[in-house]
Copies of this chain bind each other. A is one copy, B any other.
Amino acid sequence: MVMKMDKITLAHGNGGKDTQDLLKKYLFSKLPDALKKTTNGVGIDYPDDGAVIDKVVVATDSHTVNPYFFPGGSIGKLAITGTINDVVMMGGRPIAMLDSIVVGEGFSLADLDRITNDMVEMLKEENVPLVGGDFKVVPTDNMKGIVINTVGIGITEKPIIDRVKEGDSIIVTGPVGVHGAVIVAMQYGIETSLKSDLKPLTKLLEVFDKFEVHAARDPTRGGLAATLNEWAQLSGKMIVIEEDKIPIPEEVYSVLAPTGLDPLSLANEGIAVLSVPKEIEEEVVRELNSLGFSPSVIGKVLEPKNKLNSGIVVLNTAVGGSRILEMPTGELVPRIC
């Protein structure tokens, strides 16, 4: 059977290979190089939610998570926190946000109230002003629910450009797969005591100030697998990860068991992955611990021995042996962030 690919599928939104391919074909390839970034800036020549324009960092993200309220957070908390984290991951100190809310006709005002309460609570907690925004309503036959786009603006003296280097250690700052597992549990009706790890990562700016960090990312949609594959591809290096060192809570495995989903492809909302020189690995881990994180060194960056090894991620499995950790493809859990 030949499938006619003339329509958008959920797979196109997986944040992995399908999204990359779609964006390359339908957007990036159409733009001349000069319109992919500003002079001296970082743009979509490095595809990402954010950009650096001189000392200004700008990040944008559209939040579509469903259910809107989940243990540990809500789409409102996520819309602020997720974009703050995008700014922080580029080395920016968030100084302002804008929001743009699109809701379907008939959306509950009580839910909108809870959502905006959560947005405001996070803005207060992080002390970031909301300086502008937009609000649209779409007829109910075209849209149910809510989409919240947020824009984060930050200032940086030292942008993080995400180029891993040979000899780097790969560190995660906390348990992996938790946010995704919470959403999966609600969507599949699986009982769990897990709460989303959703939280701002602004404290990491202290680490970025003190240490040479070659790459930093919060592995949201597409999870650890997407982040590590993007880094390997961008730098042409090989990343080797030790499965038994990845801190995946038992409860995440329990939730995922009936679904066949891979925790390494699941979204996280309160952890970061860092790539730092091996020599400072211990110091960085100590600093992360003192800031309240629970870091684990999970792997390293190698110079590929041949072209086949360039740009790939190898997972040494807990049972011995190793396999390629692929960029996620196909339909992931929809609307996890």
Taking A30-B116, A124-B35 as contacts, is the C-beta distance between A133 and B100 under 8 angstroms?
A: no
The stretch among A105-113, A229-237, A240-248, A286-294 that forms the contact with chain B is: A105-113
Contact residue among B36, B108, B131 (Cβ-Cβ distance under 8 Å from A7): B108
Assess the A135–B35 pair: CB atoms within 8 A: no
User: Does any Cβ of B come within 8 Å of A136's Cβ?
Assistant: yes
User: Does any Cβ of B come within 8 Å of A12's Cβ?
Assistant: yes
Report Cα–Cα, A50/B6, bound state, in Å: 36
Q: Which residues of B contact A37 (CB under 8 A)?
A: 129, 131
What's the number of copies of this chain in the assembled complex?
2
Q: Which residues of B contact A48 (CB under 8 A)?
A: 132
For the residues of A in contact with B, the DSSP-based class is mixed
Assess the B116–A38 pair: CB atoms within 8 A: no
Taking A27-B120, A130-B36 as contacts, is the C-beta distance between A13 and B58 under 8 angstroms?
A: no
Assess the B58–A151 pair: CB atoms within 8 A: yes
Taking A38-B131, A135-B22, A143-B143 as contacts, is the C-beta distance between A7 and B59 under 8 angstroms?
A: no
Contact residue among B31, B42, B58 (Cβ-Cβ distance under 8 Å from A98): B58
Q: Which residues of B contact A127 (CB under 8 A)?
A: 35
Contact residue among B22, B62, B109, B131 (Cβ-Cβ distance under 8 Å from A8): B109
How near does chain B come to A109, taking the closest CB pair, in angstroms? 5
How near does chain B come to A273, taking the closest CB pair, in angstroms? 19
Q: Which residues of B contact A44 (CB under 8 A)?
A: 130-133
User: Does any Cβ of B come within 8 Å of A308's Cβ?
Assistant: no
How near does chain B come to A198, taking the closest CB pair, in angstroms? 18
Assess the B151–A36 pair: CB atoms within 8 A: no
Assess the B62–A102 pair: CB atoms within 8 A: yes
Assess the A51–B137 pair: CB atoms within 8 A: no
Contact residue among B34, B96, B137 (Cβ-Cβ distance under 8 Å from A10): B137
How near does chain B come to A68, taking the closest CB pair, in angstroms? 11
Report Cα–Cα, A41/B97, bound state, in Å: 12
Q: Which residues of B contact A38 (CB under 8 A)?
A: 95-96, 129, 131
Chain B residue with the shortest CB-CB distance to A33: B129
User: Does any Cβ of B come within 8 Å of A145's Cβ?
Assistant: yes
User: Does any Cβ of B come within 8 Å of A61's Cβ?
Assistant: yes
For residues 55 through 77 of chain A, which have their beta carbon under 8 Å from a beta carbon of chain B? 56, 58-62, 64, 66
User: Does any Cβ of B come within 8 Å of A117's Cβ?
Assistant: yes
User: Does any Cβ of B come within 8 Å of A320's Cβ?
Assistant: no
User: Does any Cβ of B come within 8 Å of A123's Cβ?
Assistant: yes
Q: Which residues of B contact A191 (CB under 8 A)?
A: none
22 A-B pairs within 8 Å (CB atoms) are namely: A8-B103, A8-B108, A8-B109, A10-B105, A10-B137, A13-B137, A26-B112, A27-B130, A30-B117, A35-B127, A37-B129, A38-B129, A38-B131, A41-B131, A44-B133, A58-B132, A59-B132, A62-B149, A98-B151, A139-B335, A142-B145, A147-B147
